[in-house]
Amino acid sequence: MPSYIKVKFFCCGVDYDGFITNISENGMFISSGEVSFPFDSEFRIAFPLEGEVLNIPVKVSRLLRTGDIYDGMGVEIIKAPQQYLVFLDKLKYSP
């Protein structure tokens, strides 16, 4: 589903900001500014949800590169928290 949700992710001791532009039960696509490498293939995303933050474990499935800059990535969710799945159900059925 298309979306625009601001998130943070932490990798190799660096905090990154990004926006989820596509979201599903199994994964998401995150657009961000330039991402520095080396980059871990597995990390956690801080997902804001109703006054709390869910730490969702993910692994990188693809990278998007524009010129010399990596500015987006597809991630697969390793284990989706129940609150995340409930949020997606509400998102699917909201007008």
Report helix, strand or coil for 29: strand
With contact defined as beta carbons under 8 Å apart, do 71 and 35 qualify?
yes
In angstroms, the CA 27 to CA 80 distance is 9
Residue 89, CA atoms < 13 Å, CB-side half-sphere: 7
Rounded Cα–Cα distance for residues 80 and 68 (Å): 32
pTM of the model: 0.86
Q: What is the mean pLDDT of the chain?
A: 87
In a 3-state reduction of DSSP, which class is residue 62? strand
Nearest-angstrom CA–CA distance, 48 and 79? 17
Domains in the chain (CATH in brackets) are 2-93 (2.40.10.220)
38-82 pLDDT per residue, tens: 577 899 999 999 889 999 999 999 988 888 788 889 999 999 999
